């Protein structure tokens, strides 16, 4: 009677951004490249100055955050709880200049590593919204 249900093939749901990017390896490469750009781009020197050195721990935390934010394993939440990004960044002065330096680095990473044009547009929009949300001073 219910034979048709067992034999029916279901189509998989939409892929997560994490999977579209290429999973753990690609997301880790994105996080690493972001900080490489920050460390070397002359227009990001003020942003770099806000970060404690060395940046090994922050690179790992950013990868863990991106993993969950992109729909992959929620590594950051498992270790640290809800990201509460704005609250975690309140000790730092984040204005439009810092936002723009952060986005400069992230946009470069997206241009270098994301080949799918639609996905790149979507990620630029998501990162732009996130960076704008982080502003905590005029």
pLDDT tens string, the chain, 138 residues long: the values are 444 444 444 556 679 999 999 999 999 999 999 999 999 999 999 999 999 899 999 999 999 999 999 999 999 999 999 999 999 999 999 999 999 999 999 999 999 999 999 999 999 999 999 999 999 998
Task: Sketch the domain layout of the chain as residue ranges.
Answer: 19-133
The pLDDT assigned to 4 comes to 43
Residues 6+ apart with CB under 8 A from 71: 16, 17, 18, 19
CATH of domain 19-133: 1.10.490.10
The pLDDT assigned to 2 comes to 43
Burial class (CB in 10 A: 0-12, 13-18, 19+), 127: middle
Q: Please give the Cα distance from 15 to 18 (Å, whole number).
A: 8
The pLDDT assigned to 117 comes to 98
pTM: 0.88
């Amino acid at each position: 009677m219910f034979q048709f249900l067992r034999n029916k093939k279901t189509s998989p749901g939409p892929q997560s951004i994490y999977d579209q990017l290429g999973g753990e390896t690609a997301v880790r490469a994105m996080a690493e490249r972001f900080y490489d750009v920050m460390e070397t781009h002359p227009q990001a020197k003020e942003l770099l100055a806000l970060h404690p050195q060395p940046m090994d721990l922050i690179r790992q935390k950013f990868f863990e955050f991106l993993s969950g934010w992109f729909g992959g394993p929620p590594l950051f939440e498992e270790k640290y709880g809800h990201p509460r990004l704005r609250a975690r960044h309140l000790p730092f002065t984040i204005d439009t200049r810092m936002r723009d330096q952060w986005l400069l680095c992230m946009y470069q990473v997206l241009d270098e590593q994301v080949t799918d044009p639609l996905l790149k547009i979507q990620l630029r929009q998501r990162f732009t919204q996130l960076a704008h949300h982080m502003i905590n001073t005029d």
